[in-house]
Structure 1
Amino acid sequence: MSSRAPRIEFAVGAFLLLALASLLVLAIASTNGKFGFGGSHYEITARFTNLGPLRENAPVKVGGVAIGRVSDIALDPVKLDSVVTLAIDDRYSDLPADTSAAILTSGLLGESYVGLQPGGDPEPLKAGDAIFLTQSSVDLIQMVGKYMFSGGADNTSDPANGAETADDAVPAYLQESGTDSPTE
């Protein structure tokens, strides 16, 4: 019976080592092997009026390829704009100075990221530069609300098309009171 105890202890120890090793692999994979240090980068800024669900450490992409991350988000107390600091990998130091930035979403409910669209300026962006051409996040709920409650109907008043006439446009409560038009 005592010869079995070391085997069980060895199996439990091996299982724990395997579990710790797999957690380490998962941690390295989720941080892209950087652990918050290493990898040289340069920082540029962009101003947005609406960030939506954008958060720090969100990816910065060009053509779907991640080239950096959002390193800081701050509020400008004077202009009340959001100032987003982008940490771009040094390998991509040739981004044109007229590059534009937009806050985009991967899929309908996916993560938000900053999408860069390079321009044609021969002068590259340098550390500390700002991107001036920006497009804020689109609020999907607000957009759906505008579509749903705008009516979507044609507002012409041509009786030949079956649209309402000027008399039909007067609300019923004004017609009952003997008033023909809301301006009287």
Structure 2
Amino acid sequence: MAIRGPRLEFAVGAFLLLALASLLVLAVASTNQRFGLGGGGYELTARFSQIGQLRPQAPVKIGGVVVGQVADIQLDPVKYDSIVSLKLDGKFVDLPADTSASILTAGLLGESYISLQPGGDPDVLANGDEIVFTQSSVDLIQLVGKYMFSGAGNSAEASSESNDSTDAGTPAY
């Protein structure tokens, strides 16, 4: 018969609390949420004609470093553009007014994110401003399809045109 002491019960309880805390941190980290540390952020908007697989909470990066996240995505009912709201950390408030935004994908099948490229304008973007210079997402499947079908069609047309021009100058026997 084993006797359970308070030390064993304390060790088991501490282990369970540590395991639950680890699971909580993992769950929050996997959903791209932040703990709210270093608040004081500000919002910018950007218009895109095609956003691809961009989702809310997707990262916003400058030079590969995460500086914020996508807060919201709406559809403009007049122009039918996607309006993306970006929530940036407060320490990046001095972005030039000619900053450009592009939707990129991390690798071939990775997540979509917004990449900001700061310009050289001395004026800065304020809270609520719109990023004017944007580049929409590139649909890889559509691009491959265009290459496969237009590339084969062009080479077939080119070869038939070259055959027509050489046949016209040779006599038929």
Q: Same fold (TM over 0.5)?
A: yes
2:22 is paired with a residue whose SS is: helix
What is the alpha-carbon distance in structure 2 between the residues aligned to residue 41 and residue 8 of structure 1?
A: 46
Contact 1:68 1:88 in 2 (8 A): yes
Q: Check whether the contact 2:58–2:113 (CA below 8 A) recurs between aligned residues.
A: yes
Q: Can you give the 5+ residue segments of structure 1 that lack an aligned partner in the other structure?
A: 169-184
Corresponding residue of 2:163: 164
> Are 2:138 and 1:138 equivalent residues in the alignment?
yes
Structure-2 separation of matches of 1:92 and 1:107: 26
Counterpart residue type for residue 48 of structure 1: F
Higher RCO (CA < 8 A, seq sep 6+): 2
Counterparts of 1:103 and 1:131 in 2: how far apart (Å)?
A: 13
1:10: Cα distance to partner? 5.6
Identify, as 1 or 2, the structure richer in helix: 2
User: In the aligned structure 2, how far is the partner of 1:136 from the partner of 1:32?
Assistant: 22
Where in structure 2 are the equivalents of 1:73-92 lying within 5 Å? 73-92=73-92
In the other structure, the counterpart of 2:39 is 39
For residues 14 and 90 of structure 1, the distance between their equivalents in structure 2, rounded to whole angstroms, comes to 37
Mapped contact 1:157–1:166 kept (Cα < 8 A): no
Distance 2:18 2:139 in 1: 45
Q: Per the alignment, in what secondary structure is the counterpart of residue 21 of structure 1?
A: helix
Note the aligned Cα RMSD (angstroms).
2.9
Separation in 2, partners of 1:122, 1:100: 15
Moved more, 90-99 or 17-26: 17-26
How much identity, in percent, do the aligned residues show? 65
Q: 2-side partners of 1:148 and 1:40: how far apart?
A: 49
- For 2:164, the aligned partner's letter is T
Code of the aligned partner of 2:19: A
CA distance in 1, matches of 2:33, 2:82: 29
